[in-house]
Structure 1
């Protein structure tokens, strides 16, 4: 069963993430990094027996996070293409969806603090696309938890109406620290505006 679910996850990557989509709202692949990541064999798909419980799941995510950082030491500028995807099995999808969601929420702050992103996928995920609110890029055939290194374009995922104001202040502070040397021109302006808006909202709450 675990191998079948891993195969399903890989098929979804090959047939959805690395393809264009008419509802995407921009040109290019759904995930701009995934095609090269797969071609370079930098994506690890790791099965997890969900009957072991949420605490074990979170522990595995932290262990794989440390492994991702270690792998980055040997690939130089290709680190942005490193990704690890946990594919749970052993419980009904609804239960595994809840587990993925809770672990993602619980670990997001510590991942961001270390310059990493942690994301969730599951069937029917309602998360909207950045360029088309009717597009659902996080809707996958089965629940999964993914992690990778942060890139500049992740500013859009760390700010905006979909992120609570206080969390934005925290995330954006670490974003500024991590990308300090690259924050010029439009990126500096975008971050300044996001921080100003979040800070103002928190102060007025």
Structure 2
């Protein structure tokens, strides 16, 4: 059954995203595996005016190339945006896809997987969210943390805590090392034992001279 674009209530979708941010993302959760909010950075980012939202209508038959183009354009938009917030670590761009049907969620997951390396090499992180997302929490793999009432993709700058997500592959870790290695060498920034342990594990596995791209990386 086709979706009538005119029937998409964009305002309602944005309200649902706002409610999700307020009632879930910025709140503690018993299954997250640590204290504090699901994402501890969103509340201060919102207070600083550093969270921007863009609606992208992709249609009921959104193809993988189209979804990849939407995300790529989002990366460009993030880099060009005239951010009001001075702290770059708080800046986030939410690409809201209110007309993406459930049968296309798998293509959104695939688009994310195929473009993650491109984002990482630009110093950015992307995350996909939808009602059936299988992405687990970093500290509790049994908790599917990235479920949202409206499909969306979040774009943000790479941060020091991303060692949780970038330690497994040599090319990803190389980008992380280039940006944050000095913090570990100088023991600056109040890094705790958990982050330091993950960093040392990745450093022992890959070393600092890792390649920028892994063999077979998706373009």
Cα deviation, residue 123, structure 1: 1.1
| Residues 1:84 and 2:85 aligned together | no
Cα deviation, residue 21, structure 1: 1.2
| Residues 1:63 and 2:64 aligned together | no
Query: What does 1:1-205 align with in structure 2 at a 5 Å threshold?
Result: 1-51=9-59, 53-71=63-81, 75-76=85-86, 78-95=87-104, 97-160=105-168, 168-184=169-185, 185=187, 190-197=198-205
Cα distance in 1 between the residues matched to 2:132 and 2:83: 36
- Structure 1 portions without partners, runs of 5+: 161-167
User: Per the alignment, do residues 53 and 46 of structure 1 end up closer, same or farther by CA in structure 2, a change over 3 Å counting?
Assistant: farther
Which structure has the highest helix share of the two? Answer: 1
Q: Which has the larger displacement, 126-135 or 147-156?
A: 126-135
Cα distance in 1 between the residues matched to 2:47 and 2:202: 35
Q: CA RMSD in A?
A: 2.4
Counterpart of 1:163 in structure 2 is none
TM-score normalized with structure 2 length: 0.77
Cα deviation, residue 188, structure 1: 6.0
Aligned residues: 191
- Structure 2 portions without partners, runs of 5+: 1-8, 188-192, 208-213, 215-219
